[in-house]
Amino acid sequence: MMVNPQEMFRPGDALLVVDVQNDFCPGGALPIEHGDEVVAALNPWIDAAQKRCIPIFLSRDWHPSGHPSFAANGGSWPVHCLQDTRGAALHSELLIPEGAEIVTKGTRFDQDQLSVFDQTGLSDKLRADGIRRLWVGGLALDVCVLASVLDGCREGFDVQLLLAGCRPVTAEGGREALEKMRQAGAEIVE
Ligand code: VGL
Ligand code: ZN
């Protein structure tokens, strides 16, 4: 089914764009194949959300050097999304409307925060703003998008996954992620 973003939003919705940062795109430190293609897929949603006065949240992975998610520090990833570097910046073609809120995560030294809901205060803020339904896309489908969608479902939000606006680190991981999201109650929007 082809969907028109303009027609999908209703009051009580919010748009959540996860980690569309240079380091997760081709040429970056932790490149996801075709990661940059999510920009063209998500911009119409961002544009529509702005026009419909739907709150927009853009998350960023924002690590200090020596972060525990880095292989050199006992984690599983190469050094990526170092605070204030070009690699950590949001993709330059991603629409960032005035009023969009940046959600920063991955700054803790004792643990990683893959989910945008992990100790960011986002769920309380959404509830306080009367948000019940979340449209989610971004990078990576099988890592931070997965963790965020599962948490969103757990927190009681109706989660709509924008599949065309996501890319996985691995194809197999992507398939498994979609299955887990479905089982958690998320709807996959093709
Ligand atoms: C992510 C790996 C490590 C992500 C963040 O945003 O999906 N992946 N840190
Ligand atoms: Zn990270």
> Stretch 106-117: mean pLDDT, rounded?
96
Predicted complex ipTM: 0.97
Does 32 sit in the ligand 1 pocket, CB within 6 Å?
Answer: no
Confidence (pLDDT) at 3: 82
pLDDT of 135 above 90: yes
Helix, coil or strand: residue 96: coil
> Stretch 6-31: mean pLDDT, rounded?
97
Closest C-alpha to ligand 1, atom 1: 144
pLDDT of 30-79, one tens digit each?
A: 999 999 999 999 999 999 999 999 999 999 999 999 999 999 999 999 99
> Stretch 153-157: mean pLDDT, rounded?
98
Does 19 sit in the ligand 1 pocket, CB within 6 Å?
Answer: yes
Of the pLDDT bands very low, low, confident and very high (cuts 50, 70, 90), residue 1 is: low
Burial classification of residue 149, based on how many CB atoms lie within 10 Å of its CB (0-12 exposed, 13-18 middle, 19 or more buried): buried
Rama region for 89: left / alpha / beta (φ>0; ψ in -120 to 50; rest): beta
Confidence (pLDDT) at 100: 98
Confidence (pLDDT) at 139: 98
Does 143 sit in the ligand 1 pocket, CB within 6 Å?
Answer: yes
pLDDT more than 70, % of the chain: 99
- The domain made up of 5-189 is a member of CATH 3.40.50.850: yes
Q: What is the CA radius of gyration of the chain?
A: 15
Mutating to test ligand 1, I would choose from 21, 59, 80 the residue with most ligand atoms within 8 A of its C-beta, which is: 80
Does 77 sit in the ligand 1 pocket, CB within 6 Å?
Answer: yes
Classify the C-alpha dihedral 117-79-68-142 as positive or negative: positive
Q: Kindly list the catalytic residues.
A: 19, 105, 144
